[in-house]
Amino acid sequence: MGSWTRPSCKCCTSRPVQPLVALELSEDINMETKRWLMFRIQAEKTAGGAELMVHPGEDDDGNMLLVSASRHVLLRTAEVLGLYKLYKDGSMISFSYRDRRNFENSDNIDEFLTLAERQFIVLRTLENIKAVDEKYIPGYPTKSLYPGEAIFNRLQKTKLLHAFYPLHHEEMLNELESHWYSHRKLTLQPIDSICRYYGGSIAMYFSFLEFFTCSLAPMAIFGTMVFALSMGTVDKCILFSVFNIIWSTVIMELWKRHSFVLAYTWGTLQMNSQFEEPRMGYKGPMGTNPITHRRQPYYPTWKRKVKIWLVSVPVLCLFLAFSLYGMFIFLRLEAWVKALYSENEDCWGCMLYIPGILHTLCITALNVCYKEIAEVLTEWENHRLESSFQNHLTVKVLVFRFVNCFSALFYISFYLQDLELLRKKLASLLILTQIINQFIETLLPYFYKTLIGKETGLKNCAVENAPEIDKIKPQGQKTTFPGMFDEYMELFVQFGYVSLFSCIYPLSAILIILNNITEIRTDALKLCHLFRKPFISPAANIGVWQTAFETIGFLSVITNCLLISISPQVKEYCAENNVTSNSVLIWAIGVEHALLAIKIILAFVIPDIPQWVKLKIDRVEYQSLQALKHKLFEEGKGFGGEVEEKEGWQGGITWPDSADSSLHASNRQLNLL
């Protein structure tokens, strides 16, 4: 049962509890504050507490608190959060505390709730501790609190709480690693264990990474095959683009199905986020949630929409304008420098690289400051749910990054129409990312071995009953997990290269496969050892990224058709068989629309949810409906009951009466005839 805090005071006679979350307070925190905080964490819900267990880690400067939760609280909160669990009849049902015995292995809490879920529950419970009647943080009269303010939010803002993070579980981690990436041979990842240990969205990412990499295989094979064939370049291009377009549609649809299955088995598919508790950052006057009728802060949707459309979108456009403008300046500069270089040879060749470097710098700067602004804006938009917050943030940054990554390529291909240059650029980009990744891949383990390795070695030789705190401390020193955005972005850009310009550089698929095989291991390693363990909320899908990838799919139709129509081979072909470029264009458009139609039809024909999942969901929905009727009746029974009686009797009279009356009638009728 993993790592326990050894009880060190005689009063801690309760069975040892596994710590789930660690809080790091500031060294110089006021005792009163600390006592207040611990009280609030432990106190009953009625006293505005979280009903959790808190235990001071026996560290030297005593600014550590280890938080855990009893089975009782975990299960209750699981119900409030509306987690779905496997019911005894084999369907996933929203967990109910009272009925817990009928859920599969609910008696063994460590089996029933995954580590990720337990830590997520503790997080949510802590985040939901609200100020009751405190006017200020006890011990700090200057630091005010308003009633209903989330105190953890406040403590973090006031730097009294340095950090709080979920704790690793050594045994589980070691086992996970051994199955995940530490072995040398190529196997599929243990997605479910990842989900159990790290939680939904991370498991989703790795599953998607794996799926994407595998689905690149046919692409790679076909790419090599086509370019081994002896046929006209144009035909090859066309053949390959068509394949690529259908491929991109099919894999995205298949992924959708796959993710539905994953989400269903993880019980995150049916979690209706409408019922969720609002995120910590969510501000607004207290009101009752119109759906759950719980007391919650409420902020009208229309205000949010106004903010988005009148502020966020314009800001995004502004920054896009900046970056595009920057690109044009860069291109001018480059041309100018080239000209300068060509006319007087004596100046240094390195000058040629200056514009590029400048451009990269300015883009990077823009990226950084835009991301800051995007975060502020999204926070200001005041989204109710963590998921929608993340989605809005992602979209903002995503669009900007996309333009930065691809604007140059688009410019080269469709304005300059210089496909040679495009091919060069693509190759360089791909090779570059490749090399960088390889670099990281080789570098990370090295770092890990040398620097952290020592510390682990030390830990291993430490005596078994060394204070738990010595194992926990190092986790706090690691950097916080930056989120999956950059990982997804990398895949997104790869997907862009593969599908948008596939017909130009058909071997990209192979490079990317090679890259991703190492990528998986790198990411896994980073996650396990470089970063603090993150709090991960359960996820039903890859969110807005699904849309992003599908959009690329549609764009790819347009780009490929255009690329082919402007390719020199086609131009030659036209010149030879004197076809006007006009008619070529018309052909291209025709093909484009046809392909778009095919894409849409394909996406429509392939059902998103696998049949068996749909059936199970409908089944539960139906049961719920019946249950609701039952419940409503039970509630109105005192009155409804006797009515039932009376009605039954009344029915009893009129029913056979009128029935056999008409029967007689009919007989009479028949006899008459």
Tokens for 134, please give them.
């405190």
561 vs 336: CA distance, rounded Å: 32
The interface with a second copy within residues 544-603 (CB under 8 A) comprises 558, 581-582, 585-586, 589, 593
Tokens for 200, please give them.
């939904």
Binding segment (CB under 8 A) for a second copy, from list 170-178, 192-200, 517-525, 610-618: 610-618
Tokens for 373, please give them.
């602004």
Sign of the torsion formed by the C-alpha atoms of 72, 77, 80 and 82:
negative
The interface with a second copy within residues 515-534 (CB under 8 A) comprises none
Residue type, 48: G
Q: What is the H or E stretch that residue 54 is in?
A: strand 53-56
Q: Is 292 in the site for a second copy (CB under 8 A)?
A: yes
Q: Is 317 in the site for a second copy (CB under 8 A)?
A: no
CB of 616 to a second copy, least distance (A): 9
Binding segment (CB under 8 A) for a second copy, from list 69-77, 354-362, 474-482, 531-539: 69-77
Q: Is 288 in the site for a second copy (CB under 8 A)?
A: no
Q: Is 14 in the site for a second copy (CB under 8 A)?
A: yes
CB of 169 to a second copy, least distance (A): 19
The interface with a second copy within residues 18-47 (CB under 8 A) comprises 31, 34-35, 38-39, 42
Q: Is 310 in the site for a second copy (CB under 8 A)?
A: no
Number of H helices, E strands in the chain: 23, 10
Find the Cα–Cα–Cα–Cα dihedral 44, 46, 47, 52, rounded to 10°: 30
Cβ proximity to a second copy: between 426 and 570 the closer is 570
CA–CA distance from 477 to each of 484, 518, 672 (Å)?
Answer: 20, 27, 101
CB of 115 to a second copy, least distance (A): 20
Q: Is 53 in the site for a second copy (CB under 8 A)?
A: yes
Binding segment (CB under 8 A) for a second copy, from list 174-182, 191-199, 287-295, 494-502: 287-295
The interface with a second copy within residues 487-516 (CB under 8 A) comprises none
Cβ proximity to a second copy: between 182 and 650 the closer is 650
Q: Is 4 in the site for a second copy (CB under 8 A)?
A: no
Options 157, 457, 636, 645; binder of a second copy; rule CB under 8 A: 636
Q: Is 71 in the site for a second copy (CB under 8 A)?
A: yes
Options 135, 183, 459, 631; binder of a second copy; rule CB under 8 A: 631
Burial of 341 (0-12, 13-18, 19+ CB in 10 A): middle
Cβ proximity to a second copy: between 357 and 659 the closer is 659
φ, ψ of residue 91 to 5 degrees: the values are -105, 155
Options 2, 48, 62, 483; binder of a second copy; rule CB under 8 A: 62
**Other CB atoms within 10 A of residue 621 CB:** 11
CB of 555 to a second copy, least distance (A): 10
Cβ proximity to a second copy: between 187 and 671 the closer is 671
φ, ψ of residue 143 to 5 degrees: the values are -90, 100
Options 455, 608, 621, 645; binder of a second copy; rule CB under 8 A: 621
CB of 250 to a second copy, least distance (A): 16
Q: Is 1 in the site for a second copy (CB under 8 A)?
A: no
| Contacts with 361 (C-beta within 8 Å, 6 or more apart), sequence order | none
Cβ proximity to a second copy: between 159 and 629 the closer is 629
CB of 550 to a second copy, least distance (A): 12
Q: Is 364 in the site for a second copy (CB under 8 A)?
A: no
Q: What is the DSSP string of 83-136?
A: -EEEBTTSSEEE--STTGGGBTT-SSHHHHS-HHHHHHHHHHHHHT-B--S-SE
511 vs 31: CA distance, rounded Å: 58
Q: Is 668 in the site for a second copy (CB under 8 A)?
A: yes
Q: Is 461 in the site for a second copy (CB under 8 A)?
A: no
Options 21, 22, 25, 55; binder of a second copy; rule CB under 8 A: 55
CB of 297 to a second copy, least distance (A): 17
The interface with a second copy within residues 120-149 (CB under 8 A) comprises none
Cβ proximity to a second copy: between 12 and 286 the closer is 12
| Contacts with 526 (C-beta within 8 Å, 6 or more apart), sequence order | 444
Options 22, 54, 363, 591; binder of a second copy; rule CB under 8 A: 54
Burial of 277 (0-12, 13-18, 19+ CB in 10 A): buried
DSSP state letter for 45: G
Q: Are 521 and 468 in contact (CB under 8 A)?
A: no
Cβ proximity to a second copy: between 442 and 661 the closer is 661
Options 1, 28, 46, 98; binder of a second copy; rule CB under 8 A: 98
Residue type, 495: F
**Closest-CA residue to 505 (of 251, 246, 236):** 236
Q: Is 664 in the site for a second copy (CB under 8 A)?
A: yes
508 vs 497: CA distance, rounded Å: 8
The interface with a second copy within residues 225-284 (CB under 8 A) comprises 272, 274-275
Size of the site for a second copy (CB under 8 A): 94
CA–CA distance from 265 to each of 84, 199, 204 (Å)?
Answer: 9, 13, 12
